[in-house]
Amino acid sequence: MRFSERRKNFRAILNGDRCIHPGSVADPMTARVTQDAGFEIGIFAGSVASMAVLAAPDLIVLTLSEFADQARRISRACDLPLLVDADHGYGNALNVRRTVEELEMAGVAALSIEDTVLPNPYGSGGKASLISLEEGIGKMKAALDARTDPDLAIAGRTSAAGIAGVDEAIRRATAYETAGVDALFLVGVKNREDLETIAAELTAPIILGSASREMMDRDWLATLGVKICLQGHKVHAAALQAFMTAQTALANGTHPDDLENVASGGTMKKFMRDDAYDAWTNAFLEDD
């Protein structure tokens, strides 16, 4: 599937009347598994990228080129439309332009640019803060201006609800909507009442991050214009625990044949596309 078709499929979700959960992905293999599991879109988060590429916490030590390279590998591996968390665009509005250019070429279907001050400045104590609204608007306009494929979706992301309150979240979200973003990505909304208050002021599709369990009612979310609701990224912690358990067992003398919960050889071949490589080998590396 060509990238433009994936982007059209993503936009169909933004323009639809449902709310879906995206599957969190970290690399080509997890993206293929995610698509096979039935998810309609994948999300590649900055925190997951930092974990997968650097084994580092989400402190913006990952570079744009590292992030874009991993997104490109994921996009190459399967047809899953990919939403990526492009953080603050890796700098000012000019850096945002470069970020959009690189991620569009990497094949992503959608990306979000946020208005948080990143990385954490000296003396912040790790406390999150917001850039000025004017700078945030400039970043959104730069992102929109940089794309060359009009089907690429740009989401304006704000954590204002959790940092500065509902009124500030509305002020920023409506400003980014006016700037022309294709969706609003809301993070830090604390409860249903706050979400209802914010959503009532918006017309653009909503992507909801860091939603609590009591907010994850997709039918209710759909009535508010929420098209995508993140489930977090615990699947990667589950995968890490499984790897730790198996590796520790081997280190302690367990025979490989006695490991539990092991994917079959057929499963491994399926997700590595063994049949396709066999066909290509026969077609291009064997005599007629």
Per-residue model confidence as pLDDT tens digits over 111-128: 999 999 999 999 999 899
pLDDT for residue 210 = 84
Question: Distance between CA 10 and CA 151 in Å, rounded?
Answer: 9
Residue 288 has pLDDT above 90, yes or no: no
Residue 189 has pLDDT above 90, yes or no: yes
Reported as a pLDDT band with limits 50, 70 and 90, residue 255 is very high
Domains and CATH numbers, the chain: 3-238 (3.20.20.60)
Residue 137 has pLDDT above 90, yes or no: yes
Mean of pLDDT values over 226-237: 98
Torsion from C-alpha of 129, 68, 134, 118, nearest 10 degrees: 20
Would you say 39 and 83 are in contact if contact means Cβ atoms under 8 Å apart?
A: no
pTM of the model: 0.96
Residues of the chain with pLDDT > 70, as a percent, come to 99
Residue 2 has pLDDT above 90, yes or no: no
Residue 47 has pLDDT above 90, yes or no: yes
Would you say 23 and 50 are in contact if contact means Cβ atoms under 8 Å apart?
A: no
pLDDT for residue 204 = 98
pLDDT for residue 91 = 97
